[in-house]
Protein backbone atom coordinates (compact mmCIF):
# COMPACT_ATOMS: atom_id res chain seq x y z
CA UNK A 1 0.00 0.00 0.00
CA UNK A 2 2.93 2.32 0.68
CA UNK A 3 4.04 1.82 -2.92
CA UNK A 4 0.53 2.37 -4.26
CA UNK A 5 0.13 5.58 -2.27
CA UNK A 6 3.47 6.87 -3.52
CA UNK A 7 2.56 6.06 -7.08
CA UNK A 8 -0.75 7.88 -6.87
CA UNK A 9 0.87 10.87 -5.16
CA UNK A 10 3.67 11.23 -7.70
CA UNK A 11 1.62 10.28 -10.73
CA UNK A 12 -2.14 10.53 -10.25
CA UNK A 13 -2.73 9.26 -13.78
CA UNK A 14 -0.51 6.22 -13.37
CA UNK A 15 -2.27 2.85 -13.41
CA UNK A 16 -2.60 1.06 -10.10
CA UNK A 17 -0.40 -2.04 -9.74
CA UNK A 18 -2.58 -5.11 -10.01
CA UNK A 19 -0.33 -7.31 -7.88
CA UNK A 20 0.57 -6.86 -4.27
CA UNK A 21 4.04 -7.06 -2.80
CA UNK A 22 5.63 -8.22 0.41
CA UNK A 23 5.57 -5.60 3.13
CA UNK A 24 9.04 -6.70 4.25
CA UNK A 25 10.79 -4.59 1.64
CA UNK A 26 10.09 -1.30 -0.02
CA UNK A 27 9.68 -2.16 -3.68
CA UNK A 28 7.20 -4.48 -5.40
CA UNK A 29 8.31 -7.88 -6.56
CA UNK A 30 6.33 -7.42 -9.77
CA UNK A 31 3.86 -4.99 -11.26
CA UNK A 32 1.22 -5.71 -13.89
CA UNK A 33 -1.50 -3.53 -15.36
CA UNK A 34 -4.43 -3.39 -17.72
CA UNK A 35 -3.16 -1.35 -20.67
CA UNK A 36 -6.43 0.31 -21.64
CA UNK A 37 -4.48 3.38 -22.75
CA UNK A 38 -0.98 2.08 -23.43
CA UNK A 39 0.14 5.23 -25.15
CA UNK A 40 0.18 7.06 -21.80
CA UNK A 41 1.38 4.30 -19.52
CA UNK A 42 4.06 5.42 -17.09
CA UNK A 43 6.27 3.74 -14.53
CA UNK A 44 6.96 5.47 -11.24
CA UNK A 45 10.49 6.67 -10.69
CA UNK A 46 12.24 4.70 -7.98
CA UNK A 47 13.61 6.80 -5.12
CA UNK A 48 16.41 4.31 -4.54
CA UNK A 49 18.38 3.58 -7.69
CA UNK A 50 20.37 0.82 -6.04
CA UNK A 51 19.46 -2.83 -6.44
CA UNK A 52 17.27 -4.15 -3.66
CA UNK A 53 18.76 -6.73 -1.36
CA UNK A 54 16.20 -9.19 -0.10
CA UNK A 55 15.91 -9.63 3.67
CA UNK A 56 16.75 -13.02 5.11
CA UNK A 57 13.08 -13.92 5.60
CA UNK A 58 12.01 -12.81 2.14
CA UNK A 59 10.80 -15.57 -0.19
CA UNK A 60 10.15 -13.52 -3.33
CA UNK A 61 12.76 -14.69 -5.84
CA UNK A 62 13.09 -11.62 -8.02
CA UNK A 63 15.39 -8.62 -7.92
CA UNK A 64 13.99 -5.32 -9.13
CA UNK A 65 15.55 -2.80 -11.47
CA UNK A 66 15.09 0.94 -11.69
CA UNK A 67 12.38 1.87 -14.18
CA UNK A 68 12.33 5.51 -15.17
CA UNK A 69 9.37 7.71 -15.98
CA UNK A 70 8.65 7.46 -19.68
CA UNK A 71 5.73 7.32 -22.03
CA UNK A 72 5.58 4.53 -24.53
CA UNK A 73 3.33 3.24 -27.27
CA UNK A 74 1.46 0.10 -28.11
CA UNK A 75 4.49 -1.72 -29.55
CA UNK A 76 6.60 -1.23 -26.42
CA UNK A 77 3.67 -1.99 -24.10
CA UNK A 78 2.84 -5.23 -25.88
CA UNK A 79 6.52 -6.27 -25.81
CA UNK A 80 6.79 -5.68 -22.06
CA UNK A 81 3.54 -7.57 -21.51
CA UNK A 82 4.84 -10.50 -23.56
CA UNK A 83 7.98 -10.61 -21.42
CA UNK A 84 5.99 -10.52 -18.19
CA UNK A 85 3.50 -13.06 -19.53
CA UNK A 86 6.36 -15.45 -20.26
CA UNK A 87 7.69 -15.10 -16.73
CA UNK A 88 4.21 -15.48 -15.24
CA UNK A 89 3.59 -18.72 -17.14
CA UNK A 90 6.96 -20.10 -16.11
CA UNK A 91 6.32 -19.22 -12.46
CA UNK A 92 3.05 -21.18 -12.56
CA UNK A 93 4.63 -24.41 -13.79
CA UNK A 94 5.43 -27.36 -11.57
CA UNK A 95 9.06 -27.45 -10.46
CA UNK A 96 9.85 -30.43 -12.69
CA UNK A 97 8.53 -28.51 -15.73
CA UNK A 98 10.42 -25.28 -15.16
CA UNK A 99 13.26 -24.66 -17.57
CA UNK A 100 15.27 -21.46 -17.12
CA UNK A 101 17.09 -22.04 -20.38
CA UNK A 102 13.85 -22.15 -22.33
CA UNK A 103 12.51 -19.09 -20.49
CA UNK A 104 15.64 -17.10 -21.32
CA UNK A 105 15.41 -18.14 -24.95
CA UNK A 106 11.82 -16.98 -25.02
CA UNK A 107 12.87 -13.60 -23.62
CA UNK A 108 15.46 -13.33 -26.40
CA UNK A 109 12.96 -14.32 -29.07
CA UNK A 110 10.58 -11.61 -27.86
CA UNK A 111 13.40 -9.06 -27.79
CA UNK A 112 14.60 -10.00 -31.28
CA UNK A 113 11.06 -9.70 -32.60
CA UNK A 114 10.79 -6.26 -31.04
CA UNK A 115 14.10 -5.08 -32.52
CA UNK A 116 13.14 -6.34 -35.98
CA UNK A 117 9.77 -4.59 -35.81
CA UNK A 118 11.29 -1.41 -34.45
CA UNK A 119 13.77 -1.32 -37.31
CA UNK A 120 11.20 -2.11 -40.00
CA UNK A 121 8.80 0.52 -38.73
CA UNK A 122 11.51 3.15 -38.66
CA UNK A 123 10.68 3.63 -35.00
CA UNK A 124 14.28 4.29 -34.04
CA UNK A 125 15.55 6.87 -31.63
CA UNK A 126 17.70 9.54 -33.24
CA UNK A 127 21.11 8.09 -32.39
CA UNK A 128 20.14 4.43 -32.21
CA UNK A 129 21.59 4.09 -28.71
CA UNK A 130 18.68 2.21 -27.17
CA UNK A 131 18.56 -0.37 -29.93
CA UNK A 132 22.32 -0.80 -29.53
CA UNK A 133 21.88 -1.39 -25.80
CA UNK A 134 19.07 -3.89 -26.38
CA UNK A 135 21.18 -5.79 -28.91
CA UNK A 136 24.01 -6.03 -26.36
CA UNK A 137 21.53 -7.20 -23.72
CA UNK A 138 20.36 -9.97 -26.06
CA UNK A 139 23.98 -11.05 -26.59
CA UNK A 140 24.54 -10.90 -22.82
CA UNK A 141 21.47 -13.07 -22.18
CA UNK A 142 22.67 -15.68 -24.69
CA UNK A 143 26.06 -16.06 -22.99
CA UNK A 144 24.35 -16.33 -19.59
CA UNK A 145 22.42 -19.29 -20.98
CA UNK A 146 25.70 -21.04 -21.76
CA UNK A 147 27.35 -20.49 -18.37
CA UNK A 148 24.44 -20.26 -15.91
CA UNK A 149 21.21 -21.92 -17.06
CA UNK A 150 22.02 -24.94 -19.22
CA UNK A 151 22.49 -27.44 -16.42
CA UNK A 152 21.86 -30.52 -18.56
CA UNK A 153 25.03 -30.13 -20.62
CA UNK A 154 28.22 -31.71 -19.28
CA UNK A 155 30.41 -29.08 -20.94
CA UNK A 156 30.00 -25.43 -21.92
CA UNK A 157 32.16 -25.88 -25.02
CA UNK A 158 29.36 -26.57 -27.51
CA UNK A 159 27.23 -23.71 -26.26
CA UNK A 160 30.17 -21.30 -26.25
CA UNK A 161 31.17 -22.33 -29.79
CA UNK A 162 27.65 -21.62 -31.03
CA UNK A 163 27.59 -18.30 -29.18
CA UNK A 164 30.88 -17.14 -30.70
CA UNK A 165 29.81 -18.17 -34.19
CA UNK A 166 26.33 -16.68 -34.06
CA UNK A 167 26.83 -13.50 -32.05
CA UNK A 168 30.37 -12.22 -32.51
CA UNK A 169 31.38 -13.04 -36.08
CA UNK A 170 30.18 -11.48 -39.29
CA UNK A 171 28.68 -13.74 -42.00
CA UNK A 172 31.12 -15.13 -44.53
CA UNK A 173 31.40 -13.56 -47.96
CA UNK A 174 28.77 -14.27 -50.58
CA UNK A 175 30.31 -16.49 -53.26
CA UNK A 176 27.19 -16.85 -55.40
CA UNK A 177 28.69 -14.69 -58.14
CA UNK A 178 31.79 -16.82 -58.65
CA UNK A 179 30.76 -20.42 -57.93
CA UNK A 180 29.51 -20.96 -61.48
CA UNK A 181 32.98 -20.23 -62.82
CA UNK A 182 35.08 -23.07 -64.19
CA UNK A 183 37.82 -21.98 -61.77
CA UNK A 184 36.11 -20.26 -58.81
CA UNK A 185 39.27 -20.55 -56.72
CA UNK A 186 41.01 -17.83 -58.77
CA UNK A 187 38.07 -15.45 -59.22
CA UNK A 188 38.11 -12.07 -57.54
CA UNK A 189 41.82 -11.63 -56.87
CA UNK A 190 45.32 -12.99 -56.99
CA UNK A 191 46.13 -16.51 -55.90
CA UNK A 192 49.61 -16.10 -54.45
CA UNK A 193 49.45 -17.40 -50.90
CA UNK A 194 47.76 -16.89 -47.54
CA UNK A 195 48.31 -13.12 -47.38
CA UNK A 196 46.41 -12.50 -50.63
CA UNK A 197 43.68 -15.10 -50.66
CA UNK A 198 40.90 -14.99 -53.19
CA UNK A 199 37.28 -14.84 -51.89
CA UNK A 200 37.01 -18.60 -52.47
CA UNK A 201 39.92 -19.40 -50.17
CA UNK A 202 38.98 -16.78 -47.61
CA UNK A 203 35.58 -18.41 -47.19
CA UNK A 204 37.05 -21.93 -47.01
CA UNK A 205 39.38 -20.78 -44.24
CA UNK A 206 36.70 -18.85 -42.37
CA UNK A 207 34.39 -21.86 -42.40
CA UNK A 208 37.15 -24.13 -41.10
CA UNK A 209 38.05 -21.63 -38.35
CA UNK A 210 34.40 -21.59 -37.23
CA UNK A 211 34.18 -25.37 -37.24
CA UNK A 212 31.87 -25.56 -40.25
CA UNK A 213 34.05 -28.20 -41.88
CA UNK A 214 31.13 -29.78 -43.74
CA UNK A 215 30.25 -26.41 -45.26
CA UNK A 216 33.93 -25.75 -46.00
CA UNK A 217 34.10 -28.97 -47.99
CA UNK A 218 30.93 -28.00 -49.86
CA UNK A 219 32.76 -24.90 -51.07
CA UNK A 220 36.07 -26.68 -51.66
CA UNK A 221 34.35 -29.33 -53.78
CA UNK A 222 33.83 -26.64 -56.45
CA UNK A 223 37.60 -26.37 -56.95
CA UNK A 224 38.41 -27.01 -60.57
CA UNK A 225 40.90 -29.80 -59.73
CA UNK A 226 38.20 -31.85 -57.99
CA UNK A 227 37.24 -32.77 -61.56
CA UNK A 228 40.83 -33.48 -62.57
CA UNK A 229 41.82 -36.44 -64.70
CA UNK A 230 44.76 -37.05 -62.35
CA UNK A 231 43.75 -39.94 -60.05
CA UNK A 232 46.25 -38.87 -57.35
CA UNK A 233 44.68 -35.42 -57.08
CA UNK A 234 41.20 -36.94 -56.94
CA UNK A 235 42.38 -39.33 -54.22
CA UNK A 236 43.92 -36.44 -52.28
CA UNK A 237 40.63 -34.53 -52.37
CA UNK A 238 38.80 -37.70 -51.26
CA UNK A 239 41.06 -38.01 -48.20
CA UNK A 240 40.52 -34.35 -47.40
CA UNK A 241 36.76 -34.79 -47.72
CA UNK A 242 36.83 -37.71 -45.29
CA UNK A 243 38.69 -35.67 -42.67
CA UNK A 244 36.42 -32.64 -43.02
CA UNK A 245 33.10 -34.47 -43.04
CA UNK A 246 33.96 -36.74 -40.12
CA UNK A 247 35.11 -34.02 -37.71
CA UNK A 248 33.46 -34.64 -34.29
CA UNK A 249 33.57 -31.00 -33.26
CA UNK A 250 31.60 -29.35 -30.44
CA UNK A 251 28.73 -27.29 -31.79
CA UNK A 252 28.37 -29.27 -35.02
CA UNK A 253 30.11 -28.93 -38.39
CA UNK A 254 27.39 -27.17 -40.41
CA UNK A 255 25.97 -23.67 -40.06
CA UNK A 256 22.52 -25.24 -39.89
CA UNK A 257 23.58 -26.86 -36.58
CA UNK A 258 23.53 -23.40 -35.01
CA UNK A 259 19.99 -22.54 -35.94
CA UNK A 260 17.79 -22.43 -32.87
CA UNK A 261 14.18 -23.45 -33.25
CA UNK A 262 12.16 -20.38 -32.47
CA UNK A 263 8.53 -20.86 -31.67
CA UNK A 264 6.04 -18.55 -33.28
CA UNK A 265 3.68 -16.91 -30.88
CA UNK A 266 1.01 -14.30 -31.18
CA UNK A 267 -0.86 -14.69 -27.93
CA UNK A 268 -0.55 -16.05 -24.43
CA UNK A 269 -1.71 -19.59 -25.32
CA UNK A 270 1.24 -19.97 -27.68
CA UNK A 271 3.66 -18.80 -25.00
CA UNK A 272 2.25 -21.33 -22.57
CA UNK A 273 2.75 -24.24 -24.94
CA UNK A 274 6.35 -23.25 -25.64
CA UNK A 275 7.52 -22.53 -22.09
CA UNK A 276 5.98 -25.69 -20.71
CA UNK A 277 7.76 -27.90 -23.23
CA UNK A 278 11.31 -29.21 -23.42
CA UNK A 279 14.03 -27.12 -24.99
CA UNK A 280 13.81 -28.21 -28.61
CA UNK A 281 17.03 -26.48 -29.59
CA UNK A 282 19.07 -28.87 -27.46
CA UNK A 283 20.86 -31.48 -29.43
CA UNK A 284 21.86 -35.04 -28.72
CA UNK A 285 25.46 -34.46 -29.68
CA UNK A 286 28.05 -36.17 -27.49
CA UNK A 287 29.66 -32.89 -26.49
CA UNK A 288 26.40 -31.88 -24.83
CA UNK A 289 25.47 -35.08 -23.03
CA UNK A 290 28.26 -37.69 -23.30
CA UNK A 291 31.54 -35.92 -22.74
CA UNK A 292 33.68 -39.06 -22.39
CA UNK A 293 32.51 -40.42 -25.75
CA UNK A 294 32.99 -37.02 -27.39
CA UNK A 295 36.56 -36.71 -26.13
CA UNK A 296 37.38 -40.22 -27.35
CA UNK A 297 36.05 -39.58 -30.86
CA UNK A 298 37.76 -36.20 -31.05
CA UNK A 299 41.13 -37.66 -30.03
CA UNK A 300 40.89 -40.35 -32.72
CA UNK A 301 39.99 -37.77 -35.37
CA UNK A 302 42.74 -35.36 -34.25
CA UNK A 303 45.30 -38.16 -34.61
CA UNK A 304 44.12 -38.80 -38.18
CA UNK A 305 44.47 -35.10 -39.01
CA UNK A 306 47.96 -34.94 -37.50
CA UNK A 307 49.04 -38.09 -39.31
CA UNK A 308 47.72 -36.77 -42.61
CA UNK A 309 49.39 -33.38 -42.11
CA UNK A 310 52.77 -34.80 -41.06
CA UNK A 311 52.60 -37.66 -43.57
CA UNK A 312 51.93 -35.32 -46.44
CA UNK A 313 54.71 -32.96 -45.42
CA UNK A 314 57.17 -35.87 -45.14
CA UNK A 315 56.01 -37.45 -48.38
CA UNK A 316 55.15 -40.77 -46.75
CA UNK A 317 54.00 -43.46 -49.16
CA UNK A 318 50.50 -43.75 -47.67
CA UNK A 319 49.94 -40.00 -48.12
CA UNK A 320 51.43 -39.57 -51.60
CA UNK A 321 48.18 -38.31 -53.04
CA UNK A 322 47.79 -35.65 -50.34
CA UNK A 323 51.43 -34.65 -50.73
CA UNK A 324 50.90 -34.04 -54.42
CA UNK A 325 47.65 -32.15 -53.78
CA UNK A 326 49.37 -29.80 -51.32
CA UNK A 327 52.14 -29.20 -53.81
CA UNK A 328 49.66 -28.30 -56.57
CA UNK A 329 47.20 -26.46 -54.29
CA UNK A 330 49.26 -24.96 -51.41
CA UNK A 331 46.27 -23.00 -50.08
CA UNK A 332 44.86 -26.27 -48.68
CA UNK A 333 47.68 -26.35 -46.14
CA UNK A 334 47.14 -22.83 -44.78
CA UNK A 335 43.36 -22.66 -45.18
CA UNK A 336 42.41 -26.19 -44.11
CA UNK A 337 45.07 -28.46 -42.57
CA UNK A 338 46.78 -25.86 -40.38
CA UNK A 339 43.39 -24.89 -38.99
CA UNK A 340 42.24 -28.48 -38.43
CA UNK A 341 45.44 -29.51 -36.65
CA UNK A 342 45.41 -26.39 -34.47
CA UNK A 343 48.71 -24.96 -35.72
CA UNK A 344 47.27 -21.82 -37.32
CA UNK A 345 48.84 -18.76 -35.70
CA UNK A 346 46.43 -16.67 -33.56
CA UNK A 347 47.73 -13.58 -35.35
CA UNK A 348 46.41 -14.97 -38.64
CA UNK A 349 42.81 -14.56 -37.50
CA UNK A 350 40.72 -11.44 -37.97
CA UNK A 351 38.97 -11.45 -34.56
CA UNK A 352 39.75 -12.62 -31.03
CA UNK A 353 36.73 -14.94 -31.10
CA UNK A 354 38.21 -16.77 -34.10
CA UNK A 355 41.38 -17.46 -32.10
CA UNK A 356 39.29 -18.74 -29.18
CA UNK A 357 37.19 -20.87 -31.54
CA UNK A 358 40.28 -22.59 -32.97
CA UNK A 359 41.41 -23.42 -29.44
CA UNK A 360 38.00 -24.77 -28.41
CA UNK A 361 37.50 -26.74 -31.61
CA UNK A 362 40.96 -28.01 -32.55
CA UNK A 363 43.27 -27.71 -29.53
CA UNK A 364 41.45 -28.19 -26.25
CA UNK A 365 37.69 -28.84 -26.55
CA UNK A 366 37.69 -30.36 -23.05
CA UNK A 367 38.95 -27.16 -21.42
CA UNK A 368 37.37 -26.70 -17.95
CA UNK A 369 34.80 -23.91 -17.86
CA UNK A 370 36.72 -22.07 -15.14
CA UNK A 371 39.77 -21.76 -17.44
CA UNK A 372 37.96 -20.30 -20.44
CA UNK A 373 37.94 -16.70 -19.22
CA UNK A 374 41.73 -16.62 -19.01
CA UNK A 375 42.11 -17.88 -22.58
CA UNK A 376 39.50 -15.40 -23.81
CA UNK A 377 41.24 -12.55 -22.00
CA UNK A 378 44.57 -13.40 -23.66
CA UNK A 379 43.02 -13.28 -27.12
CA UNK A 380 41.00 -10.14 -26.37
CA UNK A 381 44.18 -8.36 -25.25
CA UNK A 382 45.86 -9.55 -28.44
CA UNK A 383 43.24 -7.88 -30.63
CA UNK A 384 41.93 -5.01 -28.47
CA UNK A 385 43.24 -2.26 -26.24
CA UNK A 386 40.40 -2.18 -23.73
CA UNK A 387 41.35 1.26 -22.41
CA UNK A 388 41.13 2.66 -25.93
CA UNK A 389 37.97 0.90 -27.08
CA UNK A 390 34.67 2.70 -27.49
CA UNK A 391 32.17 2.38 -24.67
CA UNK A 392 29.98 -0.11 -26.49
CA UNK A 393 32.78 -2.56 -27.30
CA UNK A 394 34.37 -2.11 -23.89
CA UNK A 395 31.08 -2.90 -22.13
CA UNK A 396 30.50 -5.96 -24.29
CA UNK A 397 34.00 -7.37 -23.77
CA UNK A 398 33.93 -6.61 -20.05
CA UNK A 399 30.57 -8.31 -19.62
CA UNK A 400 31.71 -11.35 -21.63
CA UNK A 401 34.74 -11.83 -19.38
CA UNK A 402 32.69 -11.34 -16.20
CA UNK A 403 30.18 -13.97 -17.27
CA UNK A 404 32.99 -16.37 -18.18
CA UNK A 405 34.39 -15.77 -14.69
CA UNK A 406 30.95 -16.67 -13.25
CA UNK A 407 30.74 -13.17 -11.73
CA UNK A 408 27.04 -12.63 -12.42
CA UNK A 409 26.67 -9.66 -10.09
CA UNK A 410 29.46 -7.60 -11.66
CA UNK A 411 28.22 -8.45 -15.14
CA UNK A 412 24.69 -7.23 -14.40
CA UNK A 413 25.95 -4.04 -12.78
CA UNK A 414 28.21 -3.32 -15.76
CA UNK A 415 25.35 -3.87 -18.17
CA UNK A 416 22.92 -1.81 -16.09
CA UNK A 417 25.38 1.08 -15.82
CA UNK A 418 25.98 0.99 -19.57
CA UNK A 419 22.23 0.87 -20.28
CA UNK A 420 21.53 3.89 -18.06
CA UNK A 421 24.31 5.88 -19.71
CA UNK A 422 23.68 4.92 -23.31
CA UNK A 423 19.95 4.33 -23.70
CA UNK A 424 17.94 7.33 -24.76
CA UNK A 425 14.88 8.38 -22.81
CA UNK A 426 12.74 7.19 -25.69
CA UNK A 427 9.90 4.71 -25.77
CA UNK A 428 12.20 1.69 -25.73
CA UNK A 429 14.25 2.62 -22.67
CA UNK A 430 11.69 1.01 -20.36
CA UNK A 431 12.34 -2.36 -22.03
CA UNK A 432 16.02 -2.08 -21.05
CA UNK A 433 15.07 -1.81 -17.38
CA UNK A 434 12.43 -4.53 -17.55
CA UNK A 435 15.01 -6.86 -19.11
CA UNK A 436 17.49 -6.00 -16.35
CA UNK A 437 14.90 -7.06 -13.78
CA UNK A 438 14.19 -10.29 -15.65
CA UNK A 439 17.92 -11.01 -15.95
CA UNK A 440 18.33 -10.60 -12.19
CA UNK A 441 15.37 -12.90 -11.69
CA UNK A 442 16.86 -15.61 -13.93
CA UNK A 443 20.22 -15.36 -12.20
CA UNK A 444 18.62 -15.57 -8.78
CA UNK A 445 16.59 -18.62 -9.77
CA UNK A 446 19.70 -20.29 -11.22
CA UNK A 447 21.69 -19.61 -8.06
CA UNK A 448 24.11 -17.26 -9.82
CA UNK A 449 23.01 -14.41 -7.53
CA UNK A 450 21.76 -15.17 -4.02
CA UNK A 451 19.94 -13.04 -1.51
CA UNK A 452 22.65 -13.79 1.07
CA UNK A 453 25.49 -12.60 -1.16
CA UNK A 454 27.62 -9.67 -0.04
CA UNK A 455 29.57 -7.09 -2.00
CA UNK A 456 28.78 -6.74 -5.69
CA UNK A 457 26.41 -9.69 -5.82
pLDDT (0 to 100) of residue 285: 57
Q: Per-residue pLDDT tens for 106-128? A: 999 999 888 887 766 555 444 56
Instruction: Return phi, psi of residue 76, to 5°.
Output: -70, -40
How far is it, in rounded angstroms, from Cα 74 to Cα 85? 16
**Cβ count within 10 A of residue 288:** 20
What mean pLDDT do residues 253-265 have? 63
pLDDT the model gives residue 5: 43
Mean pLDDT of 387-408: 81
Q: Compute the distance between CA of residue 217 and CA of residue 410 in angstroms, rounded to an integer.
A: 42
Nearest to 420 by CA among 433, 437, 407, 401: 433
pLDDT of residue 190: 55
Question: Which of the two residues, 317 and 98, has the higher pLDDT score?
Answer: 98
Is residue 24 very low, low, confident or very high in pLDDT (cuts 50, 70, 90)? very low
pLDDT, mean of residues 388-410? 83
Per-domain boundaries in the chain = 31-169+392-446, 175-257+276-349
Please check the confidence at residue 219 and state whether its pLDDT lies above 90. yes
d(CA 343, CA 447): 39
Q: What is the pLDDT of residues 166-198, one digit of tens each?
A: 988 888 888 888 888 888 999 886 544 445 789
**419-429: string of b/e by CB count within 10 Å (b at 16+)?**
bbebbbebbbb
pLDDT at 2: 39
Distance CA 209, CA 339 (A): 6
Of the candidates 366, 405, 146, 354, which has an alpha carbon nearest to the alpha carbon of residue 250? 366
Mean pLDDT of the chain: 74
Q: What is the DSSP string of 271-286?
A: HHHHHTS--TT----H
Please tell me the predicted confidence (pLDDT) of residue 74: 67
Q: Are the beta carbons of 422 and 129 closer than 8 angstroms? A: yes
278, pLDDT greater than 50: no
Question: What's the pLDDT at 16?
Answer: 38
pLDDT of residue 444: 87
- Give the pLDDT confidence score for residue 47 in this predicted structure: 39
- The least confident of 15-24, 78-87, 141-150, 326-335 is 15-24
Q: pLDDT by residue (tens digit) across 47-98? A: 343 333 333 333 333 333 333 334 455 677 788 888 988 888 888 888 777 8
Q: What does the pLDDT read at residue 177?
A: 81
pLDDT tens digits, 352-385: 999 999 999 999 999 998 999 999 999 998 887 5
Amino acid sequence: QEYNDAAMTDHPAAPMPAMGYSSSFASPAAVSWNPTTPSILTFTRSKDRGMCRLPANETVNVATAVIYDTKFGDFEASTILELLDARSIHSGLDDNEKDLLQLSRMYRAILESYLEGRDQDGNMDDDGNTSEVLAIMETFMYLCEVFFYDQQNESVTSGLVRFLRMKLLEPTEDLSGIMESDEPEIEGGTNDGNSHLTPFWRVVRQLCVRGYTMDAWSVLSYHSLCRSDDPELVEGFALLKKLMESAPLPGGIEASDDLEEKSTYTQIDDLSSVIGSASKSRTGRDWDHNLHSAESHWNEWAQLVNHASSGASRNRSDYTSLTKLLHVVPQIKSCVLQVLNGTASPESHSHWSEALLVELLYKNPSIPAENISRRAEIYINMYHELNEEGKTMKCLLQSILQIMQFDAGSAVLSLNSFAQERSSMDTASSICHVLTALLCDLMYLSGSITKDSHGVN
